[in-house]
Amino acid sequence: MNNFKMIKLSTIVNRVKVGFVGSINEYYCEKNDGIPLIRTTDINELGIDFSNLKYVTKEFHKKNIKSQIKKGDLIIARHGENGKANVFKEEFEAQVLNAVIIEPNQNKLESNLLKYFFDSPFIKKQILGVVKGSVQGVINTAHISDLLIPLNESINYKILSKTLDDIDSKIELNININVELETMARTLYDYWFVQFDFPNEFGKPYKSSGGKMVWNEELKREIPEGWDVKYLRNEIQIQRGISYTSKEINGDGIPMINLNSFNLDGTYKSEGVKTYSGKFTEKNIVKSGDLLIAATDVTRNADIIGRAILVPDYYKEQLVFSMDIAKILSENIPSSFLMMLFNSTHYHNYIKWYATGTIVLHLNLDGINRYQMEFPPKSLIKQFDDFYLPIANRIYMTAKENEKLSILRDWLLPMLMNGQVKVN
């Protein structure tokens, strides 16, 4: 790197430290009485996930100064080869468990810019080297402190950071839009088909407005009058995907939707698509709007097993699907309704008991066929389908835009860092 000076990270930050290491079971407490605790599992590619935080006592927080984190600090998971840094942007203080904390010197290298250095191939390569060379594959303070940061006086790093931050902000905005749209659709499904407050003939909530409920002996609960009770096996067909070899997914080919195309919450992940170069038949092809479910799971809590996605409509070429997932076909039930059913909490709690295995879970598809439920009138299901499909298309197009923005950011990052591309 011509015109670059290699500077040790320790000389341009205030401090590098490791969060608390050890058992803290006795220090856990309720949210209202404690301090948020950030664990390795709370750190992901998008930042820090605050949805499932645990809390520790205020006494623990006061005593363990080294594991405290504040706004502007960076946090890095110690395990794994990624070493990705995330900026802690919250106004409140928190505790960190078993992760590295960097306190930047904002006058030398402000937080966001330091984060982008950690995203660059040059720093990732260094981290990969030290992790592979360590005894337990764990990043420690010495590893981080000794990282070499390439700096060039001719590069305006604040403008560089602003350019990348604008892209990240757009990605984050799109993610938030999609979360809101998914929440809106799931709320409507729950309101209509779980709470039974679908619009009655006067447009008012059915059950809340005194709509007649009748006891169903098969389901052992009340359902709206006039609704049928059926087994799914009488309404659907199930098709398995392609069994493939590693050679058939390395290199050129057509897109193949697979297990990695499922997010943990049952939404579609476009970056998880593989390319497939082997043989396939008409049954292996999927098109826009087709319903796919995860028939395999490698998570410890069966988070993905049985989850459903709809194939988005932005693919121009043929698509196939892998043996890890299954296609659900129905002549009478729209895919949008079935997707919401398969991703509902009550159904997932049912279907995960049909998954067997230790490290890898495999779904017994007979569990789907055996599921018995109340079926709304076709007109109501169609009304929900008409509501959901435009939302689904917006979600998929926004996700596709994010994929393009991520590719642009990842291409720009090394170019900007080494001065090949300049911004004004």
* The most confident of 33-42, 266-275, 325-334, 394-403, by mean pLDDT: 325-334
Give me the pLDDT at residue 218, please.
92
Whether 113 shows a pLDDT value over 60: the answer reads yes
For residue range 74-86, list pLDDT tens digits in order: 998 776 555 578 8
Tokens standing for residue 399? 């996700």
Provide the percentage of residues in the chain whose pLDDT is more than 90: 37
Q: How far apart are CA 147 and CA 142, in angstroms?
A: 9
Q: How far apart are CA 37 and CA 50, in angstroms?
A: 10
Give me the pLDDT at residue 380, please.
94
More confident residue, 226 or 270: 226
User: C-alpha angle with apex 389: 387 to 395, nearest 5 degrees?
Assistant: 115
Which SS3 state, helix, strand or coil, does residue 282 take? helix
Task: Answer whether 81's CB lies under 8 Å from 128's CB.
Answer: yes
Q: Tell me the backbone φ, ψ of residue 88, rounded to 5 degrees.
A: -80, 110
CB atoms within 10 A of CB 18: 20
Task: Answer whether 297's CB lies under 8 Å from 281's CB.
Answer: no
CA atoms within 13 A on the CB side of 263: 13
Give me the pLDDT at residue 123, please.
84
Q: How far apart are CA 117 and CA 405, in angstroms?
A: 18
Give me the pLDDT at residue 133, please.
61
Task: Answer whether 379's CB lies under 8 Å from 126's CB.
Answer: no
Whether 1 shows a pLDDT value over 80: the answer reads no
CB atoms within 10 A of CB 319: 20
Q: How far apart are CA 50 and CA 47, in angstroms?
A: 10
Task: Answer whether 306's CB lies under 8 Å from 348's CB.
Answer: yes
- Structural domains of the chain, ranges and CATH numbers in brackets: 5-154 (3.90.220.20), 157-205+377-424 (1.10.287), 228-375 (3.90.220.20)
Which SS3 state, helix, strand or coil, does residue 191 take? helix
Tokens standing for residue 381? 């299901």
Task: Answer whether 158's CB lies under 8 Å from 386's CB.
Answer: no
Give me the pLDDT at residue 134, please.
62
Q: Tell me the backbone φ, ψ of residue 228, rounded to 5 degrees.
A: -85, 160
Mean pLDDT of 359-370: 90
For residue range 158-183, list pLDDT tens digits in order: 888 888 889 988 988 998 898 899 89
Tokens standing for residue 418? 């080494």
Give me the pLDDT at residue 340, please.
93
What is the residue-averaged pLDDT of the chain?
86
Task: Answer whether 17's CB lies under 8 Å from 100's CB.
Answer: yes
